[in-house]
Amino acid sequence: MSPNDPRTAEQPMPWRRTPRRSRLRRRFVAGAVAVLAASAGVGVLAPSAGAAPTVDIRVNAGTSLGTVPSSGTGLNTGVGDDHMGTAKVSSLMKAAGVRQLRYPGGSGADVYHWKTHTMDDGYRNPSNTDFDHFMATAKTVGARPIVTANYGSGTPQEAADWVKYANVTKGYGVKYWEIGNEVYGNGYYGDGKGWETDKHADKSPREYAKNLVAYAKAMKAVDPKAKIGAVLTTPGGWPDKEKAPGDSADWNNTVLSIAGSSIDFAIVHWYPGGTTTDDLLKTPSRIAGVTSELRSLIAKYTGSHAASVEIAVTENGAVGSPAQTSQAAALFASDTYMTWFEQGATHVDWWNLHNGTDQAPTTVNGQIDYQDGGILSAGTCAGGKCEPARDTPFPIYWGIRSLTALAKPGDTMVKASSGNTSVAVHAVRSSNGALNVMLINKSPQNAAPVSLSYAGYTPAAGAVTTVSYAQGDTALTTTKRGTAAAQTLPPYSITTLQLKPAPGTAGAAKPTPAPTPTVAAPVVSGTTGTRAQGEIGARVDGTTPSSTSGDLASTGASTTVTYSAVGGLLVIAAGGMLLLRGRRSRALHRK
């Protein structure tokens, strides 16, 4: 999915010129959307008239949604970012649990020549961001590299030489290779003024697919273990389903029908945007439909190896919504990463490490938002106001780092559901018998009392360890509060309960896989509806049990424990670029 829809008046900028407005305001709203413009934020969840109702959270520790991918939590980097590998930045990335780094950086990949470390126009990037320096950074962070080969102005031979250098000459063992970045944005669709460089005379999906096969053949001849990724349009986002004059099929069907047998993973980008922060925080509900459609396409075209073809979300971000760096973006980050993992994605890479901006800060829900897509401050100034000191973590950083309190690679994700869309939930079982539950309160004004029940797991009694991040915090807070049965979540917060099994229960039996629907779920283009995460693991017929015991019993779990919300309830009192891409503007990457 790209925000650079040429059907709008706003067009992408040429490489390294003064940056424009950071993201197009693309709309996926099915019906009318009320736009509430106010300096304190737009479109937030409305506060209740009285005390907030208790939200019922159900965790089924006996139903598995799969394992947390080994290198799933990823991040984009750019060759123009001369702070990418500093000791401070590397330490911050490592502490945030970043397990994958993407290189050389978005659209820049299609004009980047790795041997000379230059762009297509001859510009030489900072010497400390070349491929060897990037690999040193990845090693320091403990992250796996994913590399985008130059399709726009490169050749299969240039890409094959890169594979040879990386994996034969240097022994880096780079496994994942993308062929181009958002190639569908080359101008073939729309008004012909695409944002992605593509110097091929034929810019059709047919030509991309044919060249993709040639790239794969050349690169695998050097290293048969190399995994090759195909650029696809994101279902539900432009230019998905578009057909140019004379074409019989859209981009995805054309590319996969020709190159399906040559690829190892499918690439999509996820920038759902939204007119309001409320819109943004509802978008994870669309991910189930997106992955379902991708799986159907993969099954149709990739033959006997369809089950092994991975889905990689190599760009993901809140750009296109009012919240770029403020708290809503942090909540979106945690929720989105986990929802993609639960739906089977093996890579999710946030855009961006550093980004920068040419936009003056705004105020979103009472918090300054610097309109910068990076997780760390680039230290740029706009409109007479400057970002925090360079490398200061934005709230997005803490949203991503919150995932380290929930899960580690190899842990088992289990089914969980919320009785109200204002609170999202994700749950993970660890190998040592612990159960961690992440609760995300999407209301910027109201604390949310929650009551939790469990199947397949009996938590120990007493106060529980929580790791939280609330609006205005500058770090994660670990404390003992509430119980496994009852918590009160601060407004606009991420709270992870770290539970231990009750004595004598040894946790629970190994979770069983959730049933897989046999019919692809439709891709929903609106932002209304419930979270997809509450749907996975549900009955294939789509029916919803009317009682807690019925729902949990339907999974086959042997134990259901329902706690009273009386006692242990905690009431929170007040006081208690450099590859500036914006996403396509890159002027600051020379700084």
Query: Regarding predicted confidence, which is higher, 456 or 24?
Result: 456
Does residue 217 contact residue 268 with C-beta atoms inside 8 Å?
no
pLDDT confidence tier of residue 23, bands split at 50, 70 and 90: very low
Partnered with residue 494 across adjacent β-strands are 440, 469
pLDDT confidence tier of residue 513, bands split at 50, 70 and 90: confident
Q: Quick one: average pLDDT of 516-526?
A: 44
pLDDT confidence tier of residue 431, bands split at 50, 70 and 90: confident
pLDDT at residue 537, rounded to an integer? 30
pLDDT at residue 82, rounded to an integer? 97
pLDDT at residue 536, rounded to an integer? 28
pLDDT confidence tier of residue 533, bands split at 50, 70 and 90: very low
On average, the pLDDT of the chain sits at 83
Does residue 20 contact residue 13 with C-beta atoms inside 8 Å?
yes
Token pair of 470 as six digits: 């609330």
Q: What percent of the chain has pLDDT over 70?
A: 78
Distance CA 205, CA 257 (A): 10
Q: What is the pLDDT of residues 210-259, one digit of tens each?
A: 999 999 999 999 999 999 999 999 999 999 999 999 999 999 999 999 99
Does residue 511 contact residue 64 with C-beta atoms inside 8 Å?
yes
Token pair of 486 as six digits: 């009852």
Distance CA 16, CA 585 (A): 7
Q: Quick one: average pLDDT of 47-74?
A: 88
Distance CA 266, CA 311 (A): 5
Distance CA 261, CA 442 (A): 42
Q: Quick one: average pLDDT of 63-74?
A: 97
pLDDT at residue 267, rounded to an integer? 98
Q: Quick one: average pLDDT of 463-490?
A: 98
Query: Regarding predicted confidence, which is higher, 233 or 544?
Result: 233
What are the residues whose beta carbons fall under 8 Å from the beta carbon of 325, sequence distance 6 or more? 369, 370, 371, 372, 374, 394, 395, 396
Q: Which of 76-80, 403-407, 577-581 has the lowest mean pLDDT?
A: 577-581
Distance CA 205, CA 239 (A): 12
| 184 DSSP 8-state letter | G
Does residue 447 contact residue 53 with C-beta atoms inside 8 Å?
no
Q: Are strands 347-350 and 73-76 parallel, antiparallel or unpaired?
A: parallel
Does residue 342 contact residue 426 with C-beta atoms inside 8 Å?
yes
Distance CA 181, CA 561 (A): 49
Q: Quick one: average pLDDT of 564-570?
A: 29
Distance CA 131, CA 103 (A): 8
Is the pLDDT at 549 greater than 50? The verdict is no
